[in-house]
Amino acid sequence: MNCLGCNLANKKENVYAVFEDDNVCCILDHAPYNEGHVLILPKEHIRYFDEMDENTAKSVMKATKILSKVIKMLFNPDGITVCQNGGVFDELTHFHLHVVPRYEGQNFAEFYTEDEAIHIEDEHKLEETKRKFIKALRML
């Protein structure tokens, strides 16, 4: 099986990984809603949330907590949205959880627009954001 989500989670594609453990890899979204938008992906192929084993589920929640702390420290958002789109709404056909810094006045419906090309980040910006995350993680 050639799964894009598996390839991303196992760094077989060019990704900007900011955190990982034995079960998950956390990468910067290439089309972020805001700077600091991260995807948490299981390293093993899992399509649906309810198929996740206990260890992977714990890793997903641990990563969500750690990344939320880092996002608060780095970007001072007004809030953080954690969301997962399953079934026909999962464009990767691989479970992934979004951790998104949010600011007052933003319409989150824009997150679901079909034209993501307008949001694709420059590679230099993604590399800079990755460095910020790595530095902040060392401080935790």
Q: What is the mean pLDDT of residues 8-16?
A: 96
User: Tens of pLDDT along 26-65?
Assistant: 999 988 989 999 999 999 999 999 999 999 999 999 999 9
Residue 122 lies in a domain: yes
The CATH number for 47's domain is 3.30.428.10
Residue 40 lies in a domain: yes
The C-alpha atoms of residue 123 and residue 140 are separated, in whole angstroms, by 26
Q: What is the mean pLDDT of residues 101-118?
A: 71
β partners of residue 19 = 26
User: Tens of pLDDT along 56-97?
Assistant: 999 999 999 999 999 999 999 999 999 998 888 888 889 999
Asked whether the predicted pLDDT for residue 1 surpasses 90, the reply is no
Residue 129 lies in a domain: yes
> Given pLDDT bands bounded at 50, 70 and 90, which one contains residue 122?
confident
Instruction: Report the predicted TM-score, pTM, of the whole model to 2 decimal places.
Output: 0.88
Domain that holds residue 132: 4-103+118-139
The C-alpha atoms of residue 81 and residue 97 are separated, in whole angstroms, by 10
Residue 87 lies in a domain: yes
Q: Supply 19's token pair.
A: 């955190």
Domain count, the chain: 1
Angle between helices 123-139 and 54-75 (to 10 degrees): 100
Residue 108 lies in a domain: no
Backbone φ and ψ of 24, nearest 5°: -135, 155
Residue 41 lies in a domain: yes
Residue 2 is predicted with a pLDDT of 87
- Give strand ranges (E) for the chain: 17-20, 24-28, 38-42, 79-83, 97-102
